[in-house]
Structure 1
Amino acid sequence: MEDFEKENPEETTQNEPQEVEEVLLTVTEDIRSYIYETARWTKFLSIVGFVLTGIMILFSFSTGAIITAMNVSLGGAANNPWAAFGGGFLTVLVLLFALLYFYPSLLLFKYANSAKQAVLFGDQPALSVAMGKMKSFFKFWGIITITVLGLNTISFLLGVVALLGAGSVAS
């Protein structure tokens, strides 16, 4: 066997594990400044999101009073289209929207903190966390967008069916 290896050295080198060069991304100063500026704007947007979430939560607990005031100003519950839903349902609905708005704001806030730490201290794990949060943010809004487009399509199709049904009843 040793004679074979001496005569054919190519055979032995092909079976040995070869070192693979690891390709690393280079973060230049321009990229660092872009990430840092993005982190600052992202933190601003996340704080605005937290404030709006708080306002939505406060608003949700006043929906019953708002419906009552609308009933008085519109001359009774029969003239108020929101009265049919009731204050409890609208409270839960607004709280649901507040929760949907809070989650992406939280992701943005975590991205901003991790990205800033990564840029200022050259912290590779923090940059990885930041990119993970940004991925989750865009994935969340992608799913919401697909859901809204799907519901709009279903609503449109139901409207067409209702219109065709109303047309056939009128004939």
Structure 2
Amino acid sequence: METPVETYEAPLTPKNELILTPEAQSYLLTAGKWATFLGILGFIFCGLFLLLALSMGTIMSKVASMQPYNPATAMMAGMGGGLTAVYVLLDLLYFFFALYLYQFATKIKAAINFSDSIQLTAGLKKLKSFFKLWGIVTIVIIALYVLGIICVIAFAASMGAAMHQ
């Protein structure tokens, strides 16, 4: 009677497991320190910009009162509320840039200091969110530039046609 041949099966492990070398960890830790600095600076500038945004209506009204006979300053005073709204929205957008950067920094530093792969993943997720937001904003700005160029060309063409009549 034949004995069954036993076969060895290796445990299932990823073939290309990612390992962070000490040098890579040092780079991430340094990036985390700089991201902390830039995130905190971003929060400070968000606060200052918010103060400017909330003061915009008052500033525009004061400029208009200094030149009561200038129709341009009267128009600027009327735009104070709109500028405040635009500035608050821009400040909110900038806040998320600072927030994602700061969250990346805190999670990456914790991941490296405590060898925590869950924190590393969470930190890299925040970095991904930061760059995704940056990409979306860049696409919107490029689209606005293209739209602006098209409007200028259309306006110039209509002015040229009007001049030839």
TM range (shorter): 0.7 to 0.9
Which blocks of at least 5 consecutive residues in structure 1 are unaligned?
1-5
8 Å contact from structure 2 (residues 64, 74) kept in 1: no
Distance 1:62 1:77, change over 3 A: farther
CA contact 1:53–1:98 (8 Å) conserved in 2: yes
Unaligned runs of 5+ in 2: none
Q: How does 1:14-163 map onto structure 2 within 5 Å?
A: 20-22=12-14, 23-76=16-69, 78-80=71-73, 83=76, 85-163=78-156
- Are residues 77 and 161 of structure 1, via their aligned partners in 2, closer, same or farther at CA, if it must alter by over 3 Å? same
Distance 1:77 1:49, change over 3 A: farther
Identity over the aligned pairs, expressed in percent? 30
- Bigger Rg, which one: 1
Change in 2 beyond 3 A, CA 1:76/1:90? farther
* 2:119 partner SS: helix
Summarize the Cα distance change of 1:82–1:49 in structure 2 as closer, same or farther, 3 Å threshold: farther
Q: Greater shift after overlay, 38-47 or 54-63? A: 54-63
Q: Distance between the aligned counterparts of 1:80 and 1:19, measured in 2?
A: 77
**Structure 1 pair 168/143, CA: closer, same or farther in 2 (3 Å)?**
same
- Output the TM-score relative to the length of structure 2: 0.87
SS in 2 for 1:157: helix
Matched residue, 1:3? none
Cα-to-partner distance string for 1:2-60 (whole Å, 9 max, x where unaligned): xxxx9xx9xxx9xxx98654021111110011000000000100011101110111111
Q: Determine if contact 1:67/1:82 at 8 Å carries over to the other structure.
A: no
Q: Distance in 1 between matches of 2:51 and 2:95?
A: 14
AA aligned opposite 1:158: C
The number of aligned residues is 158
The alpha carbon displacement at 1:76 in A equals 4.2
The list of structure 1 runs, each at least 4 consecutive aligned residues, that deviate by more than 3 angstroms after superposition, is 17-21, 72-77
CA shift at 1:104, angstroms?
A: 1.1
1:79 is displaced (CA, Å) by 2.7
**Alpha-carbon deviation of 1:69?**
2.2
CA separation in 1, counterparts of 2:159 and 2:127?
Answer: 47
For 2:97 and 2:12, locate their aligned partners in 1 and report how far apart those are by CA, in whole Å. Answer: 39
Q: Which moved more, 1:117-126 or 1:88-97?
A: 88-97
The Cα of 1:90 is off from its aligned counterpart by: 1.3
How far, CA to CA, are the matches of 2:61 and 2:78 in structure 1?
Answer: 12
